[in-house]
Chain A
Amino acid sequence: GENVEQHPSTLSVQEGDSAVIKCTYSDSASNYFPWYKQELGKRPQLIIDIRSNVGEKKDQRIAVTLNKTAKHFSLHITETQPEDSAVYFCAASLEGIKAAGNKLTFGGGTRVLVKP
């Protein structure tokens, strides 16, 4: 089955700096890569996703890049703010196949702390 590794496990950045979280996956057939954010005491929520037919996607201060050849993808947060402090999870799955396509494999999570 799919295995997703996520690094670093914790990340401390100064407000205004950038943060980068990296994930690698094992199954070359995986083609859907979402990122979820979990604030303290709250439920995880989808913040951005990317599919294997594109190499990069941006949404305001967050961006995700995908390197299919190397089987890794990254989350980039620019101009970090205190509200970016949270645990971030990457995930991978195979779209297009019922049931299997909805099964996400998550990475271990990255705790991001933005210091004011």
Chain B
Amino acid sequence: DVKVTQSSRYLVKRTGEKVFLECVQDMDHENMFWYRQDPGLGLRLIYFSYDVKMKEKGDIPEGYSVSREKKERFSLILESASTNQTSMYLCASSQDREESNEKLFFGSGTQLSVL
């Protein structure tokens, strides 16, 4: 069974702090994603990566950066946390198929509160 593990379930940070959210998957998936989930807005894609050291902006990349130094690990970085980044953050991974989509496997989420 695929496991996508996020390092923290709950995080509380101060405005201006640098925040790291870590995600690890154990199924050798090429693709990894960071979404944020807010009520009524669904899941919005922040960044994704389809290979080591590769990254692509999603729909809401402002205020975030990512790092993928190893295939199994995808990190989301908030350079200077702000209160509007309080949200549930979900990591996901999938196999890469050029002709067809493979299903996303999600982590259990990190609820980040920025005070």
A1-27 contacts to B (CB < 8 Å) = 1, 4, 6, 9
Q: Across the two chains, which residue of chain B brings its CB closest to A102?
A: B31
**Chain B contact residue count (CB 8 A cutoff):** 29
CB neighbours (8 Å) of B44 from chain A are 106
Task: Using CB atoms and an 8 Å cutoff, list the residues of chain A in contact with chain B.
Answer: 1, 4, 6, 9, 32, 34, 36, 42-46, 49, 51, 89, 91, 93, 95-99, 101-109
CB neighbours (8 Å) of B106 from chain A are 43-45
Q: Is the CB of B103 within 8 A of A108?
A: no
B32-61 contacts to A (CB < 8 Å) = 35, 39-45, 48, 50, 56, 58-59
Distance, CA A91 to CA B104, complexed state (A)? 12
Distance, CA A97 to CA B31, complexed state (A)? 13
Which one of B43, B45, B56 has the greatest number of beta carbons of chain A within 10 Å? Answer: B43
Q: How far is the CB of A104 from chain B (nearest CB, A)?
A: 7
Task: Using CB atoms and an 8 Å cutoff, list the residues of chain B in contact with chain A.
Answer: 4, 31, 35, 39-45, 48, 50, 56, 58-59, 90, 94, 96, 98-104, 106-109
Q: How far is the CB of B71 from chain A (nearest CB, A)?
A: 15
Q: Is the CB of A89 within 8 A of B99?
A: no
Q: Is the CB of B31 within 8 A of A44?
A: no
CB neighbours (8 Å) of A51 from chain B are 100
Q: How far is the CB of A7 from chain B (nearest CB, A)?
A: 12
CB neighbours (8 Å) of B50 from chain A are 98-99, 102
